[in-house]
Amino acid sequence: MADERIPFATHAESTVLGADEIVLNMGPQHPSTHGVLRVKLRLDGEKVIGSECVIGYLHRGVEKIAEHRSYQQFAPYVDRMDYVAAVSNGLGYCEAVEKLLGTEAPLRARVIRVILTELQRIASHLFWLGTHALDIGALTPLFYCLREREEILKIFEKYCGARLTTHAFRIGGLQYEAYDELEKDVERFCKPFDKRVDEYESLLTENRIWVGRTKGIGVLTAKEAIDYGASGPVIRASGVKWDIRKAMPYAAYDLYKFEIPTGQNGDTYDRYIVRLEEMRQSRLICLQAIENIPTGPIMGKVGKVLKPPPGEVYHAIEAPKGELGYYIVSDGTTQPYRVRIRPPSLINLEAFDKMIRGHLVADVVAIIGTLDIVLGEVDR
């Protein structure tokens, strides 16, 4: 254990390389690093014996910007972090500020939030599945996944006019009332979606190449996952049955029944199975939610000028990639004194070095893919 924690840099800078050892630089411009991730690999033949992630190429200083914007003005910025799951980011931020203010959005708003967030989880997982499969060499799932994802983005577009960086929620509730056909659209998407997931499974789950490339690759035991602060599907695939939607329900998740899928081996294959099952569960939540959307206001009583009383709050939600936490400190003015965003991508990526050691270069892309990182969120 102690040896594994020796940072890669100390190896790399030592001038003594073994006869078979080389240092390989991957990225920041590489098609399978999902953005601008740079990985330095220390290789013994084709075996990876050490690695170091170099990040920050997409750093935009989001936390600094937050200190210079009012609470409402900052809300659109969070959409630009995890840009394939903007709705979830917005939910976390709005709820954190609501908690800071001591209010809660009306029930109708919370239910609509759940519907959109679960659709977003499906969309995010679909995009992950498509690109992850593409990295490993299966081209077809990408087309299928993007086909379904498009349906979800259309619902977002109809709801708020934007497809990706939606800014769908406001502090205190919603800006827009659900459009007339929302339930129908969600139902039209969700009803056959189960079959669609079966379709992806028929392409991959028992595919010999897929199994060979993912089983036993990048293993993270439950203990290691906890030690490395992993969250979301990564920790669940290692066998920790923990989902913030169940453990500390927010929005309206306490109203719906769903299961927490877990894996046993904590390898790339299990994470794939867990995410697929999560899509099915999200579909069930959506179907339950559209059955009965309560009537009532969509905006709570929050003023136009938000001045939360001095103090602080840490609010975490279960984003598609893991625990997305907002730690906000208020000094009683209209601007946050400090906003810390706990990005699930960054913290899950931290386990990369642990997972890759002993595997082959070809597995690097499998492990980067299975962690489901978005560099906009890693670097903020």
User: Contact positions toward another protein, by CB under 8 A?
Assistant: 5-7, 9-10, 55-56, 59, 61, 63-65, 67-68, 99-102, 224, 226-231, 240, 242, 247-248, 308-314, 316, 323, 325, 327, 329-333, 335, 337-338, 340, 342, 346-347, 350, 354, 379-380
Q: How far is the CB of 9 from another protein (least distance, A)?
A: 6
Q: How far is the CB of 306 from another protein (least distance, A)?
A: 13
Q: For another protein, give the closer residue by CB, 185 or 372.
A: 372
Q: For another protein, give the closer residue by CB, 18 or 61.
A: 61
Q: How far is the CB of 230 from another protein (least distance, A)?
A: 8
Q: Which residues contact 294 (CB under 8 A, 6 or more apart)?
A: 107, 108, 111
DSSP string spanning 241-267? ---HHHHS--TTGGGS-------SS-S
Q: For another protein, give the closer residue by CB, 181 or 227.
A: 227
The C-alpha atoms of residue 347 and residue 309 are separated, in whole angstroms, by: 31
Q: How far is the CB of 113 from another protein (least distance, A)?
A: 20
Among candidates 49, 359, 356, which has minimal Cα distance to 212? 359
Q: How far is the CB of 245 from another protein (least distance, A)?
A: 13
Q: For another protein, give the closer residue by CB, 77 or 200.
A: 77
Residue 50: burial class (beta carbons within 10 Å; 0-12, 13-18, 19+): buried
For residues 247, 250, 256 and 259, what is the CA-based torsion angle, rounded to 10 degrees? Answer: -30
Q: For another protein, give the closer residue by CB, 194 or 350.
A: 350
The C-alpha atoms of residue 105 and residue 251 are separated, in whole angstroms, by: 8
Q: For another protein, give the closer residue by CB, 38 or 163.
A: 38
Query: Please, are residues 93 and 78 in contact by the beta-carbon 8 Å criterion?
Result: yes
Q: For another protein, give the closer residue by CB, 77 or 228.
A: 228
Assigned token pair, 336: 């946050």
Q: How far is the CB of 238 from another protein (least distance, A)?
A: 12
Q: For another protein, give the closer residue by CB, 47 or 69.
A: 69
Q: For another protein, give the closer residue by CB, 55 or 290.
A: 55
Q: Which residues contact 319 (CB under 8 A, 6 or more apart)?
A: 82, 85, 88, 89, 92, 232, 344
The C-alpha atoms of residue 368 and residue 370 are separated, in whole angstroms, by: 6
Intra-chain end-to-end CA distance of the chain, in Å = 30
Q: Tokens 């959109």 — which residue?
A: 116
Q: How far is the CB of 108 from another protein (least distance, A)?
A: 23
Q: How far is the CB of 262 from another protein (least distance, A)?
A: 13
Phi, psi of 38 (to 5 degrees): -120, 130
Q: How far is the CB of 67 from another protein (least distance, A)?
A: 8
Omega of the bond leading into 28 within 30 degrees of 0 (cis) = yes
Q: How far is the CB of 124 from another protein (least distance, A)?
A: 21
The C-alpha atoms of residue 54 and residue 59 are separated, in whole angstroms, by: 12
Q: For another protein, give the closer residue by CB, 202 or 333.
A: 333
The C-alpha atoms of residue 274 and residue 262 are separated, in whole angstroms, by: 6
Q: Which residues contact 146 (CB under 8 A, 6 or more apart)?
A: 126, 127, 130
